[in-house]
Amino acid sequence: MRSFSSSSQPDLLPQVLKFKLPSGECKLVLQRGDITKWKIDGESDAIVNAANELMMGGGGVDGAIHRAAGGELLRACRDLPSHGGVRCGVGMAVETPGFQLPVRRIIHTVGPVYDKEVKDDCASYLASAYRNSIKLAREKGVKYIAFPAISCGIYGYPLDDAAKISLNTIKENSEGFSEIHFVLFEPSAWQTWVDLAKLNFEQD
Ligand code: AR6
């Protein structure tokens, strides 16, 4: 049995909901579980990591991804260009291979640390994290991508706001993708994304 930093949850749970996005062919898929278990075909798929600017690993989903991908991931991160230790700025995205994960690529992004005093800035950084991850993935020919709930753990983003920002950004940037997934670990995140998706999109 693997160990997880947030709590002991099972791998991918049977709860899966699929929605039609208003434009194009891309589907939105919501799933519960551990994103390190997610894969489509090992070729045109990628998962997104909620990393920090240093990209030297951490807790939460970042820790789980580093454990599952193996030590080569840390070595690949260390070799990325660094500006005073920063390898990925807040709202930006960089790519590594998936190494021992079942996916071809990992797109690493950095969400904002939530601060309600500057919540508009936080919203714009969170939207950038989604947008730049999608853009980089598209440039690499990714057709299937899975996101965790970026910034919703250690970085403290309120789930309702984060779900709205993520789903709006995905809706406007889905061209070229076959499926955009969210793999949601905590029951509260799963319920928040499901409720919002049901309000906004038709189920497939
Ligand atoms: N699969 C899917 N989602 C997960 C998993 C998993 N295996 N594990 C946790 N989550 P967090 P952040 C969920 O804290 O808030 C790290 O130390 C978790 O329940 O991982 O962006 C980095 O190095 C939550 O809903 O990321 C940074 O320093 C969501 O993933 C910092 O944490 C995001 O929680 C980033 O904080």
Domains of the chain: which residue ranges?
A: 16-203
Does 16-203 carry CATH code 3.40.80.10? Answer: no
Residue (of 115, 111, 116, 106) closest to 165 by Cα position: 111
Is 50 exceeded by the pLDDT of residue 3? no
116-122: long-range pairs with CB below 8 Å, 24+: 119/161, 122/151, 122/157
Other CB atoms within 10 Å distance of the CB of residue 69: 22
Question: Mind giving me the DSSP string for the chain?
Answer: ----SS----SEEEEEEEEE-SSSS-EEEEEEE-GGG--SSSSSEEEEEE--TT-S--SHHHHHHHHHH-HHHHHHHHTS--BTTBSS-TT-EEEEE-TTSSSSEEEEE-PPPP-GGGHHHHHHHHHHHHHHHHHHHHHTT--EEEE--TTSSTT---HHHHHHHHHHHHHHT-TT-SEEEEEE-SHHHHHHHHHHHHHHSEE-
Judging by DSSP bridges, how do beta strands 45-50 and 27-33 pair with one another?
unpaired
- Nearby residues of 123 by Cβ (< 8 Å), 6 or more positions away: 161, 165
Mean pLDDT of 9-26: 84
The residue whose CB lies within 8 Å of the most ligand 1 atoms, and thus the one to mutate among 7, 15, 103, 154, is 154
Ligand 1 site: residues with CB under 6 angstroms? 4, 6, 34-36, 50-52, 58-62, 64, 111, 148-155, 183, 185-186, 189
Nearest atom within ligand 1 for CA of residue 60: 20
Give 135's pLDDT tier (boundaries 50, 70, 90).
very high
pTM for this model (two decimals): 0.95
Give nearest CA residue, ligand 1 atom 5: 61
pLDDT for the residue numbered 8: 56
172: nearest Cα among 134, 138, 143: 134
Average pLDDT, integer, range 164-193: 97
The alpha carbon of 14 and the centre of ligand 1 are apart by a number of angstroms equal to 21
| CA distance linking residue 196 with residue 67, whole number of Å | 32
Structure tokens, 60 = 């939460």
What local confidence, expressed as pLDDT, does residue 1 receive?
Answer: 33
Residues 56, 76: Cα–Cα separation, whole Å: 10
pLDDT band at 10; cut points 50, 70, 90: low
